[in-house]
Structure 1
């Protein structure tokens, strides 16, 4: 249809008006539920607004200038050390580019994620970087359809045509598992959170691939799930006592592998205690390798071998990708996907 805007910019009232052949004033009244517009006309305007991806912006300045120089950042948990680094790096790049950063939290809640998406739209953001909840609904598709650039970080949204930047979780898990096998482990157990997200699925895949490549048995006891206790505004993304209880149960049932790989370094805290209470020393009796390399990991006794995550590299790539879109770089036919490799850090917990 003539007058329908291109995919590269945000839709406005003027775009809807051109699409239906009416004045901006009529379209505005219809979409805001005001009088003076017949119901058939109102329905036609709403249908056309939905079709071209128009989303309302409550800030008149945004409608006039087309930009508020604001970038939205939506993450799942601000206490996660990875995301703390992510926020810091993105804020620095955002400020250097003359934008203001708006931080929104979803707390692993689909309803809060939807609220965050709505807040971003109503606040007139120019673009969004999001770590999605990966729930049943994807509120970010409507922003992309409306011409608001979206860059997804860490968790995959296959049905969303947008740029994606992530740590290579599968490669990190593969390296961690191969590390303890190369140090002599003939049996390895992965302790991992049971949250249904792609980052965890990728770590499990890397772990399983490492075992298979070394001809080791993979059975129901190879992966132990820690029940998710994340709740709205949780103080920490993970709890060490959760991994402690899981490890105690495993050891008391007589299952003692040569090595444990834990999906995050917080779980290593609980695992260390469980092993000590059962008379097992790290690394002489059992090796332990973590994932995250959080500030405390080097100060454990013994210091924890772990996978260092490239948070700042992921953040830098994501914000530069978004800024390029905002500067007019057109989206490619296929969105760009980048996986940044992590780094294995060998310390005392695997040193035999």
Structure 2
């Protein structure tokens, strides 16, 4: 199985490749990708350097063009497709049908991967995208059980990629109604959940910190309490006099124990979430998964989950805790 890792900047790309990633996925510095944070992503020179670094080592670079433009801005997404092709990327990852159609017609030799934002959860949906837009791979949404993934692998006309590690979303991929309601900006259209321009941190007299999103108080942290990037879904709220994570407790997807089943099912690529995360995260997670995949490929019958793998991954998980998420669902 191919290991696909995130790269939010050039140092992260180097770290992922050096740690054993078979491919990295990146974004341009605009709203064509779903991690359009300030200071993140690649300008043209950085991406040229990153592609050269990866290709010199036999690895691949995918460009995420996975947001949904409105009709007035569609030409900007078309230009991003042209730019990706001119740079010689190995594939684009897209969800919007007009973007996929344009890439199929204008750059048929450039591989097209259906993004997780495309929400293809049935063989019929995958078949449509393959027949209409010539996709060569699809990334499955993180809402399917292991059994559903196994059945799709048997029926899909294209190879399938699944998320193996990283942050989860309680919404349908990229369609965060919470962030849209509070800020008026859709993550799938504007490229980011909880846009940084709406985030306000406030220091309190007791050295605690409050964080607001567009004026809405979504969390308060103690003086020494670690704080991640503030999102509405992972905030703490007063509900009936009790303050807790009312919507979603910070945790990360970790499917390492399912690696043998995913391999047997025929999954072709395991994807790590986290283009917004730092170099240490990318390096550690890529190294652990590289070792686990290689050991399984070398001797599947003797493969055993190693505790030090899980410990290393937990240290880089949200809230330092992990879950199998929808992969383990008794009522599937």
TM-score for both structures, normalised by structure 2: 0.34
The answer to which structure has the higher strand fraction is 2
Which has the higher relative contact order, 1 or 2, with Cα contacts under 8 A spaced 6 or more apart?
Answer: 2
TM-score for both structures, normalised by structure 1: 0.33
